[in-house]
Structure 1
Amino acid sequence: MDRFVVVGAGTMGAGIGYVAARAGYDVTIVEIDSGRGSAALERVGSWADSAVERGRLDAETALAIRDRLSTVTELTAVDTGADVIVEAVPERPELKHTVLAAAEEREPKLLASNTSSISIATLAEPLARPDRFLGLHFFNPVYAMALLEVVTGPQTAPEVVADALALARRLDKEPIVVADAPGFATSRLGVTLGLEAIRMLESGVASAADIDTAMVLGYRHPIGPLELTDLVGLDVRLDIARTLQSAYGDRFEPPSLLVRLVEEGRLGKKTGHGIYRWVDGKRVAE
């Protein structure tokens, strides 16, 4: 496997492209907005530079990562027969259906979605070869998080799962294999904690900082659920919560505070304000 395509140049798409290029793939990022595509390349370059500064990459490897990455604005510009195509667009089934159907026409050896909550069976509905399709759920930041959740659909072929596990190892990820269900293992558990933390904040149980400190010091979580929500993106959390609510009922109903913050454009670290304020990528006191 040497040609890797990522559809979507958001935080996750750029992160997936980075780890694929670091693993030696020639990577194409497909992004309809050419400005976002260029920004993704700059972001990947900055990650590589930071890794050199921290002694985790040498300068030659960082340069090679940049050289292996390119962007296009249409999937039709991608040559057929790519080794891997990963869809990493927002968590909206209709959008993902459109992207995945177009990606399948490029005849990849492995087709995957980076969905964090939508059933693989649902996403496979427009595909002619659902046996060649599965979920590859990466975690943010992709370059730092070791886990890769491999989600098998009801028609995913065993050899495709084997290919996905081999891919995970090449990307230096630790895979787990999860059967298809909305939210899979990680989002279902993580969103449960995150939504409850937002409800606690909304009802005045404690401050955001104290709620997070409770989980960091009391349960040894590396980061609190509210700060994690800011890092993931409040809009992403809201989309996932609504997907899980439709599947499992009102226990996943989004808190009104979450809905309001998203409506106000307070999406977390990426906008500079979510549950916390962020300046130059760092959380600051209110």
Structure 2
Amino acid sequence: MFMEHVSIIGAGTMGNGIAHVFALNGFKVALIDVNQTQLDKALATIAKNLDRQVAKGIITEEKKMGTLQNIITHTGIEKGVQEAALVVEAATENIAIKLQLFQQLDTFVPANAILASNTSSISITKIASVTKRPGKVIGMHFMNPVPVMKLVEIINGYDTHPDVSNTIIALSTQLGKTPCVVNDYPGFIANRILMPMINEAIYSLYEGVADVEAIDTIMKLGMAHPMGPLQLADFIGLDVCLSILEVLHKGLGNPKYAPCPLLINMVTAGKLGVKSGEGFYVYTATAGNKDLVVSNH
């Protein structure tokens, strides 16, 4: 299947990263968000990340300019998806929002186009069920930061057609990514394994087994993890971690997936990690960077 035009729904951290990667690889990208300010912020972030790639000698200045020229923005879905051969939804990890979006996309996107979701835990089969093209709906779960991370977790829904799956596998490889195919069960693979580990780290803190710094240092030095689980949770977003754990708990019915009360309290209090300036660590902006200060919980 030949693809030239790709539409990305959502201009947040994941959406702008996905747009970056497609545009860098020569695709014409329509980046769609209801908020023009968010779109402007996304374009500035993409430009900044491209500048980093230029500085590191990964791409040329000419390539950077061509990438930016490949991206157009829209604040409405209908105009932004008219030419799309593929739509990648990267909106908030909320099932009601995603179901509403896919109903709209099914109406406006060309009938032969593939609809993909960047969801990290929500059922692709459920998302596909609100469309008239369930065979053309698939999960395309990129990792953050998208321009750097190589993995794309490809999730086949119950009705996803093999040709669609093969197309997305080939497309992911074309983007310079490594595709790994999984089936549609709660949390898929990445988060089914990662989130219980993060949750257990939070329980260890909650029960007073060790403090934040000790837990993260033990996992970094003892298990060769590049980032400790509590710091990683802050970067993912504690609200996102909670949402995924709730999907696992409800979908699999096993109490081992129940989110730690400390996590619930922190999200309720608005301590969401990097995005809010405080989670298990406190984040302060200095010279355009984030300085890390251990908080007391």
The TM-score normalised by the length of structure 1 is 0.96
**Contact residue 245 and residue 252 of structure 1 kept, 8 A:** yes
The answer on 1:28 being equivalent to 2:36 is: no
| SS state at 1:285 partner | strand
How far off its partner does 1:151 sit?
A: 0.4
| SS state at 2:145 partner | coil
Q: 2:278 aligns with which of 273, 276, 281?
A: 273
How far off its partner does 1:104 sit?
A: 2.1
Report the Cα distance in structure 1 between the residues aligned to 2:80 and 2:293, rounded to whole angstroms: 45
Q: What do you get for the CA RMSD once the two structures are aligned? A: 1.3
Note the alpha carbon deviations across 1:195-228, whole angstroms, 9 max, x for none: 1111111111111121111111111112111111
How far off its partner does 1:244 sit?
A: 1.0
Structure 1 partner of 2:266: 261
| SS state at 2:11 partner | coil
**Contact residue 7 and residue 81 of structure 2 kept, 8 A:** no
| SS state at 2:100 partner | helix
Moved more, 100-109 or 84-93: 100-109
The answer on 1:113 being equivalent to 2:122 is: no
Report the Cα distance in structure 1 between the residues aligned to 2:270 and 2:5, rounded to whole angstroms: 37
After superposition, the Cα gap between the structure-2 partners of 1:148 and 1:239, relative to the gap in structure 1 and judged at 3 Å, is same
How far off its partner does 1:26 sit?
A: 1.1
How far off its partner does 1:125 sit?
A: 1.4
Q: 1:284 aligns with which of 283, 292, 297?
A: 292
For structure 1, the 5+ residue unaligned runs are none
Moved more, 273-282 or 177-186: 273-282
Q: Percent identity, aligned pairs only?
A: 37
Structure 2 partner of 1:69: 71
**Contact residue 198 and residue 226 of structure 1 kept, 8 A:** yes
1:116-265 pair list within 5 angstroms = 116-249=120-253, 250-265=255-270
Report the Cα distance in structure 2 between the residues aligned to 1:279 and 1:55, rounded to whole angstroms: 30
Structure 2 partner of 1:8: 10
**Contact residue 41 and residue 70 of structure 1 kept, 8 A:** no
Structure 1 partner of 2:101: 99
**Contact residue 151 and residue 178 of structure 2 kept, 8 A:** yes
Report the Cα distance in structure 2 between the residues aligned to 1:235 and 1:70, rounded to whole angstroms: 30
| SS state at 2:146 partner | coil
How far off its partner does 1:87 sit?
A: 0.7
Report the Cα distance in structure 2 between the residues aligned to 1:176 and 1:17, rounded to whole angstroms: 20
Report the Cα distance in structure 2 between the residues aligned to 1:34 and 1:80, rounded to whole angstroms: 19
Note the alpha carbon deviations across 1:130-157, whole angstroms, 9 max, x for none: 0001100111111111100000011111
> Structure 1: which amino acid aligns with 2:67?
I
Moved more, 101-110 or 133-142: 101-110
Report the Cα distance in structure 2 between the residues aligned to 1:26 and 1:110, rounded to whole angstroms: 16
How far off its partner does 1:79 sit?
A: 4.4
Structure 2 partner of 1:56: 58
| SS state at 1:151 partner | strand
The TM-score normalised by the length of structure 2 is 0.93
**Contact residue 33 and residue 73 of structure 1 kept, 8 A:** yes
How far off its partner does 1:234 sit?
A: 0.8
| SS state at 1:111 partner | strand
| SS state at 1:150 partner | strand
Note the alpha carbon deviations across 1:220-277, whole angstroms, 9 max, x for none: 1121111111111111111111111111232211112111221222211122211111
Report the Cα distance in structure 2 between the residues aligned to 1:50 and 1:264, rounded to whole angstroms: 35
**Contact residue 31 and residue 80 of structure 2 kept, 8 A:** no
Report the Cα distance in structure 2 between the residues aligned to 1:11 and 1:270, rounded to whole angstroms: 10
